[in-house]
């Protein structure tokens, strides 16, 4: 059986790893590049570049060179984060007919799933070249706060790339696995995962016990990452260049791209050196077209001073995450560093000061998530003898009650599969039907959560308010498929609905994209892509049963405007 790869599909960079024959995770590389920039460039004729080559295209082809697709995948176009990103991205972000955030590239609508699929396909081919075998199965990581739609959209991207995605794994869980946080001899450990990448900052508080990894709180800053450090240095040097030579480099896209790259390289060098040299010949030209070079020493102290405001933004999310977890910094057993930017000494110093302990640095921070994903892939495939981790629901699932409140029926972090049961009663006399709306999210206000669907039970028997009782059963299986059944207790009449996580693309659309790609690929190479086989994984069952008697009088979901036949009276 071919091996299952672990993929860290990052906002800025992605990485692929596999468990080797000795059970050790190994990053897979081609040409020595251990991470792949998550950038995809589309040429007008249909040619696609991925990674470093795509990033270079950004200078001349900014409108069709897509970065940050992870910020869009499975999201609606009108969300705050998408609006923010659309304001700064040089490419067009548009609304799909269902309201999802898509891209418009060379006049054609393209889903973020297709863009991510290009990155996944490249990672898959890196893995195949490195292993010398066909790869069809993967574990892909996502941030812990991704909801079901974002997770499903990521799965769909995998399917488009010809991968059977065995599991979507939380990034902090993958990092904790790679750090061996579960080998604590059964004792409960509280872990903070501090993840500062190129474009985003996430902090997660986790409880690890007996192979169960529970993310108890997450916070972060979606608009803070290593790119901001590079930008601070870049802006300083552009201003200096203008003062010294009266030349505005901002008018020259190629010079700006060269300088940005040099700033990032300098920053990386300065995480271990006290100073480094910036040397860029012919960066600008004087009035007569003569070359102006940039040649200067830059020190770590100087960069630290330029970026001190960025470092100051790291503490508040840590504070909020601890507060949400109801913990103090002193109660954290381990702090794990993830993301390339945690190599920067001032970042590490802030972490150490805030948590009052030295963070663990056993692994390469930009590879640790992919390594954890590979380890998990090994567990699923039975290559590793560690006990299987249990999959949990990422967000609260519940129903709309009263005047728009959210009543949680399956709390997040419930082990899959899960089943819950609750009884509700009508809120009005002779109520004809009830419409139970299902939501996912963490807000008490349902309007701020994501609607999953609804089940309508009609022809209720007549009776005074509170006399007609409905039994509601919610089940989520290991594939995250939610089944809901509402049954009126007196007549036994039932209505049910099955809600599959939707990433925004229908199965037909995915099949069409795959078929299109197969055709293009067959034309280009004479070979066909492998299609996913479809896998089912099983974990033990747990049951979560609500106290039926205590809730029998609850008017629950039947309050509110959707229940006609209440004689127009106000909900009681
Ligand atoms: P990631 O998204 O985890 O790949 O992190 C990418 C960010 O880490 C980029 O901003 C890189 O410039 C930054 N980075 C990578 N290596 C280093 C390093 N040695 N020192 C400082 N920053 C680094």
Alpha carbon distance 497, 297 (integer Å): 66
For tokens 């830059």, name the residue: 298
Task: Check: CB of residue 366 under 8 Å from CB of residue 340.
Answer: yes
**Superfamily (CATH) of domain 226-309:** ATPase, substrate binding domain, subdomain 4 (3.90.640.10)
Task: Check: CB of residue 2 under 8 Å from CB of residue 136.
Answer: yes
Cβ–ligand 1 distance for 343 under 6 Å, the answer yes
pLDDT at 384: 63
Q: At 61, list the tokens.
A: 């082809």
What residues contact 546, with CB distance under 8 A and at least 6 apart?
Answer: 409, 420, 421, 422
- What CATH number matches the domain at 4-181+363-387, 3.40.50.2300, 3.30.390.30, 3.50.7.10, 3.30.420.40? 3.30.420.40
- What CATH number matches the domain at 396-504+541-564, 3.40.190.10, 3.30.450.20, 3.40.30.10, 2.60.34.10? 2.60.34.10
Q: Please state, as a whole number, how many other Cβ atoms lie within 10 Å of the Cβ of residue 542.
A: 12
pLDDT at 442: 84
Instruction: Give nearest CA residue, ligand 1 atom 22.
Output: 341
Alpha carbon distance 18, 3 (integer Å): 8
Pocket test for ligand 1, best of 7, 194, 226 (most atoms within 8 A of CB): 226
Domains of the chain: which residue ranges?
A: 4-181+363-387, 226-309, 396-504+541-564
Sign of the CA dihedral with 485 first, then 216, 149, and 120 last: negative
Cβ–ligand 1 distance for 340 under 6 Å, the answer yes
CA of 312 to the centre of ligand 1 (A): 18
Task: Note the helical H segments in 107-147.
Answer: 112-131
pLDDT at 345: 98
Helices then strands (H, E): number in the chain? 14, 26
Catalytic hit among 114, 147, 156, 171: 171
Q: At 17, list the tokens.
A: 């790893």
Cβ–ligand 1 distance for 344 under 6 Å, the answer yes
Q: At 481, list the tokens.
A: 């498929």
List b or e across 85-118, with b for residues whose CB sees 16 or more CB atoms inside 10 angstroms.
Answer: bbeebebebeebeeebbbbebeeeebbbbbbbbb
Closest-lying ligand 1 atom to the alpha carbon of residue 200:
2
Question: Is position 430 annotated as part of the catalytic site?
Answer: no
CA distances from 328 to 190, 319, 325, 381, 495 (A): 11, 9, 9, 38, 47
Question: pTM of the entire structure?
Answer: 0.82
Tens-of-pLDDT digits for all 572 residues of the chain? 689 999 999 999 999 999 998 889 999 997 788 999 999 999 988 899 999 999 988 888 999 999 999 999 999 999 999 999 999 999 999 999 999 999 999 999 999 999 999 999 999 999 999 999 999 999 999 998 898 899 999 999 999 999 999 999 999 999 999 998 877 777 889 999 999 999 999 999 999 887 778 888 889 999 999 999 999 999 999 999 999 999 999 999 999 999 999 999 999 999 999 999 999 999 999 999 999 999 999 999 999 999 999 999 999 999 999 999 999 999 999 999 999 999 999 999 999 999 999 999 778 999 999 999 999 998 887 766 565 566 678 789 999 988 889 999 998 878 778 899 998 888 889 999 989 999 998 889 999 888 899 999 999 999 998 889 999 999 998 777 899 999 999 999 999 999 887 877 888 888 888 887 777 666 654 332 232 222 222 222 222 222 222 232 333 333 222 332 322 222 22
What residues contact 147, with CB distance under 8 A and at least 6 apart?
Answer: 74, 394, 395, 440, 441, 450
CA of 72 to the centre of ligand 1 (A): 22
Sign of the CA dihedral with 113 first, then 114, 116, and 122 last: positive
pLDDT at 389: 62
CA of 233 to the centre of ligand 1 (A): 15
Question: Is position 70 annotated as part of the catalytic site?
Answer: yes
Cβ–ligand 1 distance for 348 under 6 Å, the answer no
Instruction: Give nearest CA residue, ligand 1 atom 9.
Output: 198
Pocket test for ligand 1, best of 15, 194, 340, 346 (most atoms within 8 A of CB): 340
Closest CA to 217 of 205, 202, 201, 200: 205
Task: Check: CB of residue 131 under 8 Å from CB of residue 18.
Answer: yes
pLDDT at 530: 30
Element (H, E) at 324: helix 315-325
């Amino acid at each position: 059986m071919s091996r299952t790869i672990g993929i860290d599909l990052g906002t800025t960079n992605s990485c692929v790893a596999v468990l080797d024959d000795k059970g050790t995770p190994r990053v897979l590389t081609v040409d020595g590049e251990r991470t792949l920039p998550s950038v995809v460039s589309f040429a007008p004729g249909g040619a696609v570049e991925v990674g470093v080559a795509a990033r270079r295209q950004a200078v001349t082809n900014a409108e069709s060179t897509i970065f940050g697709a992870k910020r869009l995948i499975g999201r609606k176009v009108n969300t705050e984060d998408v609006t923010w990103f659309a304001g700064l991205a040089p490419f067009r972000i548009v609304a799909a007919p269902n309201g999802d955030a898509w891209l418009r590239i060379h006049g054609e609508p393209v889903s973020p799933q297709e863009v991510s699929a290009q990155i996944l396909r490249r990672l898959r081919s890196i893995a195949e070249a490195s292993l010398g075998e066909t790869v069809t199965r993967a574990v892909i990581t996502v941030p812990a706060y991704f909801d079901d739609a974002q997770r499903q959209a990521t799965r769909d991207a995998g399917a488009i790339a010809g991968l059977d995605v065995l599991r979507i794994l939380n990034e902090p869980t993958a990092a904790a696995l790679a750090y061996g946080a579960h080998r604590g001899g059964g004792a409960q450990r509280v872990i903070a995962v501090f993840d500062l990448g190129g474009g985003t900052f996430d902090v997660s508080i986790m409880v690890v016990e007996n192979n169960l990894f529970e993310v108890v709180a997450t916070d972060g800053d979606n608009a803070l990452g290593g790119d901001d450090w590079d930008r601070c240095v870049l802006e300083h040097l552009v201003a200096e260049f203008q003062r010294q030579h009266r030349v505005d480099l901002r008018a020259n896209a190629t010079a700006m791209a060269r300088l940005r790259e040099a700033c990032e390289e300098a920053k990386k060098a300065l995480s271990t050196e006290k100073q480094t040299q910036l040397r860029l010949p012919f960066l600008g030209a004087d009035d007569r077209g003569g070359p102006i070079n940039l040649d200067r020493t830059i020190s770590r102290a100087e960069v630290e001073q330029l970026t001190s405001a960025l470092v100051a933004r790291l503490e508040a999310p840590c504070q909020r995450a601890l507060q949400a977890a109801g913990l103090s910094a002193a109660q954290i057993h381990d702090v794990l560093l993830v993301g390339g930017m945690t190599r920067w000494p001032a970042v590490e110093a802030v972490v150490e000061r805030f948590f009052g302990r030295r963070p663990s640095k056993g692994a390469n921070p930009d590879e640790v998530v992919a390594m954890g994903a590979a380890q998990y892939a090994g567990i699923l495939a039975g290559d590793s003898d560690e006990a299987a981790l249990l999959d949990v629901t990422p967000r609260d699932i519940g129903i709309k009650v009263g005047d728009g409140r959210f009543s949680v029926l399956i709390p997040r972090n419930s082990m899959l599969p899960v089943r819950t049961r609750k009884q509700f009663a009508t809120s009005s006399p002779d109520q004809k039907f009830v419409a139970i709306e299902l939501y996912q999210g963490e807000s008490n206000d349902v309007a701020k959560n994501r609607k999953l669907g609804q089940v309508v039970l009609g022809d209720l028997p007549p009776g005074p308010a509170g006399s007609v009782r409905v039994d509601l059963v919610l089940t989520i299986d290991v594939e995250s498929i939610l089944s809901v059944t509402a049954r009126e207790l007196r007549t036994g009449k039932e209505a049910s609905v099955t809600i599959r996580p939707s990433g925004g693309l229908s199965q037909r659309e995915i099949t069409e994209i795959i078929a299109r790609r197969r055709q293009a690929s067959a034309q280009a190479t004479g070979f066909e892509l492998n299609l996913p086989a479809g896998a089912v994984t099983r974990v033990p069952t747990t049951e979560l049963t609500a106290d039926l008697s205590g809730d029998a009088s609850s008017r629950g979901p039947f309050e509110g405007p959707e229940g006609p036949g209440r004689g127009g009276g106000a909900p009681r």
